[in-house]
């Protein structure tokens, strides 16, 4: 993989970014597609975000991904935002116009989630009842996509006020969003009729692999599908418990891949090699298994 004067640069801005799978995933995609593009990790502290973003066009960057903790703080630094950003309230991708330096903020987390559930044949529509665990950034992206599909959404979070804040935000974006907030203590009372559970909390993520966000003693809704956004490890305790209870469990690697594929397409204008990107992520996770 050579780098020369023609190499086009993209990367990921976050803090920390050392463990990100995105560089391996995108660089494999560029190589496969025969593009002289490279993706680099760019660790940037919060206090340096504005300087870093403003410097990207001057450095000739074609785009970046934005990750924790900058997804919301980056918004006022951009020249324009897509509709997905306004309904999620966060940016995870920036496209940079090579001629004008115009910075456009996008959100491919929402579309990545929707693409992956479709790829897994999980249908959501007006008769679906979806329970989202957690009320952080990932929850917002998932909730926005589900509200758009017309499903009834329940955001269940340890801190009720954070779930309520997402509901309020959705109410400011949609006329009549079918969404409500609940606390984790209320979980036993809201699982009835649930067709899909989406875990957006980091509970169960390596190294805390024996933890689960699902409270002990609460039965899983029968016939539901569990969608896990944690992908390290590929099969979490929550997935194992759900499968033992007869549910179908889907791991979170696909959401990462599809949000990356959408960013690849926005930057390069080429179709993303989704299968290659997925294979590389799975390979990287296997190599780093502990």
134 touches ligand ATR (CB under 6 A):
yes
135 touches ligand ATR (CB under 6 A):
yes
Interface region with ligand ATR, contact rule CB under 6 A, candidates 12-20, 93-101, 196-204, 257-265: 196-204
Distant-in-sequence, close-in-space partners of 165: CB < 8 Å, separation ≥ 6:
135
Binding to ligand ATR, residues 28-87 (CB under 6 A): 68
213 touches ligand ATR (CB under 6 A):
yes
Alpha carbons 30 and 37: distance in angstroms, whole number: 6
Pair 91, 75: CB distance under 8 Å: yes
Cβ proximity to ligand ATR, 162 vs 248, nearer residue: 162
Cβ proximity to ligand ATR, 96 vs 166, nearer residue: 166
Residue 100 C-beta: closest distance to ligand ATR, Å:
31
Alpha carbons 63 and 102: distance in angstroms, whole number: 10
Interface region with ligand ATR, contact rule CB under 6 A, candidates 152-160, 167-175, 188-196, 234-242: 152-160
Interface region with ligand ATR, contact rule CB under 6 A, candidates 58-66, 195-203, 233-241, 249-257: 195-203
Q: Which of 91, 5, 85, 95 is nearest to 56 (CA)?
A: 95
What stretches of 214-274 adopt beta strand conformation (E)? 225-228, 248-250
Cβ proximity to ligand ATR, 128 vs 200, nearer residue: 200
71 catalytically annotated: yes
Cβ proximity to ligand ATR, 101 vs 202, nearer residue: 202
Strand pairing report for 37-43 and 225-228: unpaired
One-character DSSP codes across 115-168: HHHHHTT----TT-EEEEE--SHHHHHHHHHHHHHT-EEEEEESSHHHHHHHHH
Cβ proximity to ligand ATR, 20 vs 268, nearer residue: 20
Interface region with ligand ATR, contact rule CB under 6 A, candidates 11-19, 112-120, 133-141, 265-273: 133-141
Interface region with ligand ATR, contact rule CB under 6 A, candidates 197-205, 219-227, 247-255, 268-276: 197-205
153 touches ligand ATR (CB under 6 A):
no
Tokens 């990356």 belong to residue: 260
Cβ proximity to ligand ATR, 9 vs 184, nearer residue: 184
Q: Is the dihedral of CA 111, 178, 87, 39 positive or negative?
A: negative
Phi, psi of 173, rounded to the nearest 5 degrees: -100, -25
Cβ-closest residue to ligand ATR? 136
Catalytic option among 71, 126, 168, 244: 71
Q: Is 249 helix (H, G, I), strand (E, B) or coil?
A: strand
Among 92, 128, 157, 212, binds ligand ATR (CB under 6 A): 157
Alpha carbons 196 and 187: distance in angstroms, whole number: 14
Among 49, 77, 122, 203, binds ligand ATR (CB under 6 A): 203
Alpha carbons 10 and 57: distance in angstroms, whole number: 11
- Which residues contact ligand ATR (rule: CB under 6 A)? 68, 134-139, 157-159, 162, 200-203, 213
Residues with a catalytic annotation lie at 71
């Amino acid at each position: 993989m050579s780098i020369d004067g023609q190499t086009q640069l993209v990367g990921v801005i976050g803090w920390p970014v050392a463990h990100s799978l995105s560089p391996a995933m995108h660089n494999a995609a560029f190589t496969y597609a025969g593009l002289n593009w490279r993706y680099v990790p760019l660790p940037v502290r919060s206090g340096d975000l504005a300087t870093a973003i403003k410097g990207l066009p001057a450095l000739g960057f074609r785009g970046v991904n934005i990750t924790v903790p900058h997804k919301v703080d980056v918004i006022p630094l951009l020249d324009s935002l897509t509709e997905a950003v306004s309904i999620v309230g966060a940016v995870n991708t920036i496209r940079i116009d090579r001629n004008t330096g115009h910075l456009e903020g996008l959100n491919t987390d929402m579309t990545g989630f929707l693409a992956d559930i479709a790829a897994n044949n999980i249908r959501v529509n007006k008769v679906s009842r979806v329970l989202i665990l957690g009320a952080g950034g990932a929850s917002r992206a998932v909730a926005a996509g589900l509200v758009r599909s017309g499903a009834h959404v329940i955001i269940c979070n340890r801190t009720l006020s954070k779930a309520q804040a997402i509901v309020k935000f959705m109410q400011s974006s949609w006329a009549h969003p079918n969404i409500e907030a609940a606390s984790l203590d209320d979980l036993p009372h809201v699982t009835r009729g649930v067709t899909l559970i989406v875990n957006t909390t980091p509970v169960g993520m390596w190294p805390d692999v024996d933890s689960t966000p699902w409270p002990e003693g609460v039965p899983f809704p029968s016939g539901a599908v569990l969608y896990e956004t944690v992908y390290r490890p590929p099969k979490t305790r929550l997935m194992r418990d759900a499968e033992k209870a007869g549910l179908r469990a889907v791991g979170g690697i696909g959401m990462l891949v599809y949000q990356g594929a959408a960013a690849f397409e926005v930057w390069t204008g080429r179709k993303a090699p989704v299968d290659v990107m997925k294979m590389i992520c799975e390979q990287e996770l296997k190599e780093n298994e502990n």
